[in-house]
Amino acid sequence: MSNRNLEELLQSAGGPVKLLRNSQIGPYVYPVVPPEFTSWRDEQMAWQHTCVLFNQSFHMTDMYIQGSDSLKLLSNLGVNSFKNFAVDKAKQYVACSHEGYVIGDAILFYLDKDLFNLVGRPSVHNWVQYHCETGEYNATVERDERAAARQGPLMRKAYRYQVQGPNAPGVIQKLIGKPVPDIKFFNMDAFTIAGRKVRALRHGMVGQPGWELFGPWTERDDVRNAIVEAGKEFGLRQVGSRAYSSNTLESGWIPSPMPAIYDGDKMKPYRQWLSANVYEATASLGGSFYSDNIRDYYSTPYDLGYGPIVKFDHDFIGRAALEKMAANPKRRKVTLVWNPDDATNAIGSIFQDGPHAKYIDFPSAVYSTLPYDKVTKGGKTIGVSTWSGYSFNERAMLSLAMIDAEYSEPRTDVTLVWGEEGGGSTRPTVERHKQSDIRVTVAPVPYSEIARTAYRTK
C-alpha cells in the first residue's frame, strides 16, 4: 500500500475496473444524522405531503474558491454558461474530460465577489483544485471535507439544511416573520432565523418549493431547533439518513456518475496529482453491468440529463467533443419502475433456503459508491441503471437509468439484472447471492407526479 498517487495505484491494482470493483470501503454513508427520526416511510411521505428538514451538513465536500481568476477557472472547466452568473446565484456545475465525459457535478454557489463554494461529491472538486494549482490562475481553494473523509472531532465550516415540501413556504414564513420573498429557482437570499443570519438558496428537490439554508457551523443547533419548532404545526419531519438518499429517486438526479478520469494519457498528469486515498481511488463499483473497459462506465452530460445546461458560449475542456455529441445524443435518462412480482420474488428469496437474490435494502437499495446495473432488451444490453430504491409515496421500487434513446419511451418494457456475477464481488457490502432478472417499465424523470409537472418551471 505504498502507492504515491492514483496512477500508481491503478498500475498495481491491474486497472480501474478491478480496483473499484473490489474496493473495501464498505457502505457509502450519510453520516452523523440518525437513521430514522420517525420511520423512513413517514419521512418519505412528509416530503410529498407536508414538509421535511434534510440535514445535509455532513455527507458532501465543500470547497471555497477565492480570487480574481476564480470565475475564469470555473468557466474553463465547466460545461455551463457563466454569462449571467452573479453573486447570489447558484448552478448545477458539471465538468467533463477532454473527450466530453462527465468527471463530476456539484452545486456551485456564487457567494460574493470572487468567492465561490462548490458542494457535492468530491470528484469535481479535485479536478477544479488540480487546475487551480497547476494552471496560471490567481485563485486559491480551501476544502472542508465531508465527514466520511475526516478523522477526529466533527467540525465543519457551515451547516447545510433544506426545508422542502408543500408546506415549506409556511414554515419559512413563520421563521422569518414575514412573507417569503419571491426569489427565483437557484437564486439566493438572506434570512434571519432565530436571530441568526442565514443564507438561503431557492431550491426544490422533489418538485416542491424549498430552500437550502446555510450558515456558520456554530449556529447549527439554534437554526435547526428553530426550524423543527416552527415546523411542528406544518407537519414537518426531520429526515434520517436512511430515507435521505432515496429522495433523488423521485426527483431524478443521478448522484453517482463514474468520474471520467481513469484512462488516457491526457489525464495521466491528473491521476499522478491525485493521491492514492481520494474518492476516485477508494470508491466502490457495484452491480450487474460488467466491462473491462472503464470507458464503458463513463457518461456524457446528455446521458445524465444535463444536455440543456451545456453551453458553447465559452471555451472549456471537452467542448470540441461535446459539440460533436450534441447533434446526436445516444442515451437518455429515465426512471425504471420495477415489476412488483419480480421485486417481491427477489426479496422473498431470503426467506427460503438456497441461493437468494442480492438483498434489497429499504428504502435505498444502493450498495456501492458507483452502482451500475445492466439494463437489457431481448438479451442485449441497452443501458445502465444507477440509483435504486423504494418509494413509499409511489409504492414502487424505482431506478434511475441511462438507456439507448430508442428504448426510452415511457411504458417500454425492459429488464434490469439485479445482483453481481459469480456469487458477487469481494466488497464488504456484498453477501453471496445469485443474479435475478427484474422486469421494469420505462417512465419519465422525475418520476413523482408533482415533480413531473412543477419542477424547474423557471
Partner 1 sequence: VSYKNLEEAIRAAGNPVKMLRNSQLGPYVYPVVPSEFSNWRDEQRAWRETCVLFNQSYHMADMFIEGPDTIKLFSATGINSFGTFAVNKAKQFIGCNYDGYVIGDAILFYLSKDSFVLVGRPSIHNWVQYHAEKGGYKVTISRDERSVARDVPIVRRLYRYQVQGPNAPQVLNKLNGGPVPDIKFFNMGEIKIAGRKVRALRHGMAGVPGLELWGPHEEREEIRAAIVEAGQEFGLRQVGSRAYATNTLESGWIPSPMPAVYSGEKMKPFREWLSGNGYEATAALGGSFYSDNIEDYYLTPWDLGYGPFVKFDHDFTGREALEKIAKNPKRRKVTLAWNGEDVTKIFRSMFEHGQDPYRVLDLPLTNYASLSYDKVLTGGKTVGFSTFSSYSYNERSMLSLGILDNEVAEVGTQVSLIWGEEGGGSLKPTVERHRQIEIRAIVGPVPYSREARESYAEGWRTGKK
Residues forming the site for partner 1 (CB under 8 A): 26-27, 29, 32-42, 45, 153-154, 241-242, 340-341, 343-344, 347-348, 350-353, 356, 359, 361-362, 367, 390, 392, 395-397, 428-431
CA 219 vs. chain centroid, Å, equals 26
Q: Which is nearer to partner 1, 263 or 394 (CB)?
A: 394
Closest CB 441 distance from partner 1, rounded Å: 13
Q: Which is nearer to partner 1, 66 or 241 (CB)?
A: 241
Q: Which is nearer to partner 1, 22 or 39 (CB)?
A: 39
Closest CB 281 distance from partner 1, rounded Å: 20
- Report cis status (omega within 30 of 0) of the bond before 446: yes
Closest CB 220 distance from partner 1, rounded Å: 9
For residue 279, give the H/E element and its range.
Answer: helix 279-282
Q: Which is nearer to partner 1, 85 or 217 (CB)?
A: 217
User: Partners of 357 in the beta sheet?
Assistant: 434
Residue with the three cell numbers 440535514? 55
Q: Where are the alpha helices (DSSP H) in 135-208?
A: 168-176
Closest CB 386 distance from partner 1, rounded Å: 20
Q: Which is nearer to partner 1, 62 or 99 (CB)?
A: 62
Q: Which is nearer to partner 1, 104 or 424 (CB)?
A: 424
Buried residues in 309-330 as b, exposed as e (16+ CB within 10 A): bbeeeeebbbbebbeebeeeee
Asked if 212 and 227 touch (Cβ cutoff 8 Å), the reply is no
Which residue type, as a one-letter code, is found at position 28? Answer: Y
Closest CB 62 distance from partner 1, rounded Å: 18
Which residue type, as a one-letter code, is found at position 400? Answer: L
Closest CB 29 distance from partner 1, rounded Å: 7
**Distance from C-alpha of 26 to C-alpha of 32, rounded to nearest angstrom:** 16
**Distance from C-alpha of 17 to C-alpha of 28, rounded to nearest angstrom:** 18
360 burial type by CB count under 10 A (0-12 exposed, 13-18 middle, 19+ buried): buried
Q: Which is nearer to partner 1, 320 or 350 (CB)?
A: 350
Q: Which is nearer to partner 1, 142 or 431 (CB)?
A: 431
**Distance from C-alpha of 428 to C-alpha of 409, rounded to nearest angstrom:** 37
- Report cis status (omega within 30 of 0) of the bond before 179: no
Residues in the chain: 458
Closest CB 154 distance from partner 1, rounded Å: 8
Closest CB 258 distance from partner 1, rounded Å: 22
Q: Which is nearer to partner 1, 25 or 168 (CB)?
A: 25
User: Partners of 90 in the beta sheet?
Assistant: 109
- Cα angle for residues 439, 443, 448 (degrees, 5° grid): 120
**Three cell numbers written together for 14:** 491491474
Closest CB 279 distance from partner 1, rounded Å: 19
